[in-house]
Amino acid sequence: MAKRRAAEPADKRPKARAAAFDKAAAKQRVKEIFAVLRRTYPEAKVALNFTNPLELLVATILSAQCTDVRVNIVTKELFKKYTSASGWAQADVKEIEEDIRSTGFFRNKAQNIKGACTRIAAEYDGRVPATMEELTALPGVGRKTANVVLGNAFGIPGIVCDTHVIRLSRRLALSDNSDPVKLEFDLADIVPKKDWTLFSHLLVFHGRNICKARKPNCPGCPIAACCPAAERPDRW
């Protein structure tokens, strides 16, 4: 009997080919796809329900590894119970854990929410700060969360590199980086600043509706003519 061939070390296995990156071409591609996607998804916006910056901050922390639909179900009652940063700060962390349990990773999320709100109450008079530096200094808040809050609660342009944005940016050859922070800066260099927030929403909507991870609908894609990965998304 022939011996079974040993699996190759992970670093020796063939890697999926990344789209060749050309900054000038990427910048032109952004112009073309932005116009089409904007017409295709006129309703594109953040999917999380909120009425103020604090609610959006909390909802975004809860959305990690959880669907926006589930978060919105949980926050419907949650935001009636906790109405201020001091309210969250004074709450027992175990009680917060139970309130958010269904969103997953509830212990870490409860600690982060309580920690962030404690600092907001103590250092910012209960108001969510509106700069990247201040937001990312809060417990549990990275650049992605900060950009969600800045772009959607304060109207300050921000690129949100979630899984959809990362995947589509690679397929569309808008960057050769898959690291969220590096990708954010790459996109910031080719997308007009005023469009950063909306561009992120458009890619998310397109990723959820057409350009899905496992089975993208290339024949039904309105930007297929601009996409280097059309009909062969598994290669990008």
Angle between helices 53-62 and 106-123 (to 10 degrees): 160
Q: Supply the residues annotated as catalytic.
A: 144, 162
* Contact (Cβ atoms closer than 8 angstroms) between residue 49 and residue 205: no
Rounded Cα gap, residues 147 and 156, in angstroms: 8
Distances (CA, A) of 233 to 104, 167, 225, 228, 230: 31, 10, 14, 9, 6
Q: Per this entry, what is the length of the chain?
A: 236
Domains and CATH numbers, the chain: 18-45+158-235 (1.10.1670.10), 53-153 (1.10.340.30)
Rounded Cα gap, residues 203 and 175, in angstroms: 14
Instruction: Say which DSSP state 5 is in.
Output: P
Rounded Cα gap, residues 174 and 65, in angstroms: 25
Place of tokens 């990427």: 26
Distances (CA, A) of 101 to 59, 74, 88: 13, 9, 16
Rounded Cα gap, residues 126 and 113, in angstroms: 13
Q: Is 143 helix (H, G, I), strand (E, B) or coil?
A: helix
Per-residue pLDDT of the chain (236 residues; tens, 9 = 90+): 444 444 434 444 344 444 457 899 999 999 999 999 999 999 999 999 999 999 999 999 999 999 999 999 999 999 999 999 999 999 999 999 999 999 999 999 999 999 999 999 999 999 999 999 999 999 999 999 999 999 999 999 999 999 999 999 999 999 999 999 999 999 999 999 999 999 999 999 999 999 999 999 999 999 999 999 986 655 55
